[in-house]
Each structure stands twice: as C-alpha cells, then as structure tokens.
Amino acid sequence: MSTLSYLARWKTAGAITAEQHDLLAALVRKDRVSVFVELNALLYAGVVTFIAGVGWTIQTYFASLGDAAVLSSLSLLFAGCLIYCFARSAPYSNDAQESWYFAFDYVLYLGCLSLGVALGYLEFRFHILKQNWDLYLLLSACVYFVLSYRFDNRLVLSLGLSSLAGWFGLRAGVHHSLFGPIVGTASLRPYALAYGCVVAAAGVLLHRAGIKRHFLEAYLHVAANVLLAAVLSGVAASEHRWLYLIALCVLAGLTIVQGIRARRFAFVAYGILYAYAGLSIQVLRDIRRDTDAFAYFTASGLLVLAGLVVLARRFGREE
C-alpha cells in the first residue's frame, strides 16, 4: 500500500484533518508547497532585527553621529515608508483589503517602529516634555491607529494598542491624572481593568459602526488577556483573593463560552489557562510539602494539556 493510500485511510478514520491530509499528500507528490507563513515570519523578524540594530547603533554612537544626522535619518526612513505605502495602496475602505504587494505591511511596520525610535531619541536628548514624556506614547498610539485603519494593517493596530497600554499605565498609575490616586495602594490593577474595558468597548463600537469589522478580534484578544491577567493578579494578592477568584472564574467562563460560539479556539484557551492559574494559586496556599505541589502540577497540568489538545482537534475538524 502506498503512502497516499495510508493518508487517505487516516483521513477517513479521522486521525488527520482534511487540511493535514492535503498538506502531507502534496509533500508526498512533491507538489509546490506554500511558504507564505514562513516568509511573513522572516520579514517580521527582519524588520524587528533591523530596528533593534538601528537602536543599538544610535545608543552606542549618537555622540559621534550627531543629533541632526540621527533625527534626519529616522525622519527620512519614516517618510520614505509612508510615501511607499501611499503610492502602492488602494483608497481607504471600511472593508477588509488585501495588500497588493507582499512586503507592503512590513514596510509600514518598519516606518512605525522608526517613528517610535525617533520620538524616544528626541526625548532622550532634549527632554522636551520632561515628566510628561508619556505623551509621546499617546502621540505614537494615535499615529499608529490612523495608519492601521488607513492601510488595513493589524500589525500596526497591535502596535497602537500596546503603545496606548503603555501610556495608560504610566499616566494612570504614576501620575494618577485620569481617575485620581489609589488610596492605600500603588497597584495598577484597577487601571488595567479600565484599559481592558476601554479596548473591548472601542472594538465593539467600531464593529457596530461598520468600521473595519475584521479588527474586532484584535481588540478582543488584547482586552481578554489584560482583563484576565488583572483579575489573576488579584487572586495572587492577599486581600479579597476569594472575590477575585470568583470574578476570574466568571470572566474565564464567559471567555470560553464566547470563544466556542465564535469558533475561536484562542479565547477558549485563554479562559482555561487563566482559570487554571488562578485555581492553582489558591490550591498551593494550602499545600505545605514540595512533593504534594509537584504531584498537583503533574496531574493537573497533564489534564489541562490533554483537554486543550482534544479541544484543538475538535475545533480543527469543525472548521
């Protein structure tokens, strides 16, 4: 019996999915195989590595290079990337748009990262905003949001969300200028909860308004992780840990249910893993011996892992 016959039998028996069968059969027949994902990963790694190298060069040799040379180079890089993107892009649309050129998204991402480096260098050298330097994060976040929507780029959208999170944490947690200081504690947990709610609400509102509906999932990924992590940190704290544990289980349950309804396995995994972490923190408080802790993690970890594998296979078959 040939390898292709074995693959067909495994597909019929449900041992492999249709997608896995097609991929393996193509390899056996020596057909052309797509390397789209690998090339995207290489481009992303190349852009990040290039910017990291630029940052290291500036940090090491800025005294000899001079401020004018550094800022003009970064500005030209940012402007060049924007000119390329505007010249090669289609007009703005609220619907999803495919990139006409393979490296288009990464050229835009490179330009956005160069803007971040330029703003960081500007404050490092001239201290223009001084104690309000976090406004650079807000400015860059606004630019990233505009560019992500203009060019339909989720990479830049994630960059904007992370920059907004940085500004939100610094402005709210350090300066306390959004909601006032937290009495008796320096915790950033309430601000993380507020940020997660703001991101989720913004994503839902834009989705309902018909503006880049396909961006909703990116907003929800960020919001779910921030909210679950914030509540999990409350479980680890000494005060009101049972209330936070209940809240974590409820929030994780909602995340799992919505993930199942929307056929998004990542959200199901978020709910399971965060709930497991919270329950494990509570269980370990009552365990005194290292051997018992090891036995607990071995047994429970294997159960959770096996459950995730089963769910992932089921999601893969149904999708």
Q: What is d(CA 172, CA 187) in angstroms, rounded to the nearest whole number? A: 11
Q: Are 226 and 177 contained in the same domain?
A: no
Closest CA to 39 of 98, 103, 109: 103
Q: Reduce the DSSP state of residue 90 to 3 states and report it.
A: coil
Closest CA to 235 of 248, 223, 225, 226: 248
Closest CA to 270 of 220, 315, 235, 233: 220
Domain range enclosing 197? 183-319
Q: Are 199 and 159 contained in the same domain?
A: no
Q: Are 209 and 139 contained in the same domain?
A: no
- Tell me, rounded to whole angstroms, the distance of Cα 288 from its chain centroid: 37
Q: If you count them, how many residues does the chain have?
A: 319
Q: What is d(CA 154, CA 31) in angstroms, rounded to the nearest whole number? A: 31
Q: What is the 3-state secondary structure (H, E, C) of 41-73?
A: HHHHHHHHHHHHHHHHHHHHHHHHHCHHHHHHH
Q: Are 215 and 156 contained in the same domain?
A: no
30 neighbors 44 (Cβ within 8 angstroms): no
The pLDDT profile of the chain, 319 residues, written as one tens digit per residue, is: 567 777 787 778 777 887 777 777 776 666 665 666 778 888 889 999 999 999 999 999 988 999 999 999 999 999 999 999 999 998 999 998 887 787 899 999 999 999 999 999 999 999 998 888 889 999 999 999 999 999 999 999 999 999 999 888 777 655 444 444 443 334 678 888 989 999 999 999 999 999 999 999 999 999 999 999 999 999 988 678 889 999 999 999 999 999 999 889 999 999 999 999 999 999 988 887 888 888 998 999 999 999 998 888 877 655 4
In terms of Cβ atoms closer than 10 Å to its own Cβ (0-12, 13-18, 19+), residue 74 is buried
Predicted TM-score of the model (pTM): 0.81
- How many domains in the chain? 2
Q: Are 162 and 83 contained in the same domain?
A: yes
The kind and range of the H/E element at 283 are: helix 265-285
DSSP state string for 160-204: HHHHHHHHHHHIIIII-TTT-PPTT----HHHHHHHHHHHHHHHH
Of 150, 181, 212, which marks where a domain is finished?
Answer: 181
Is 274 inside any structural domain? yes
Q: Are 171 and 247 contained in the same domain?
A: no
pLDDT for position 186: 41
Question: Considering all CA atoms of the chain, what is the largest pairwise distance in Å, rounded to the nearest integer?
Answer: 74
Q: Are 177 and 187 contained in the same domain?
A: no
Burial pattern 291-314, b for ≥16 Cβ within 10 A else e, equals eeeeeeeeeeeeebeeebeebeee
Q: Are 168 and 253 contained in the same domain?
A: no
In terms of Cβ atoms closer than 10 Å to its own Cβ (0-12, 13-18, 19+), residue 12 is exposed
Is 214 inside any structural domain? yes
The kind and range of the H/E element at 151 are: helix 135-151
Q: Are 213 and 100 contained in the same domain?
A: no
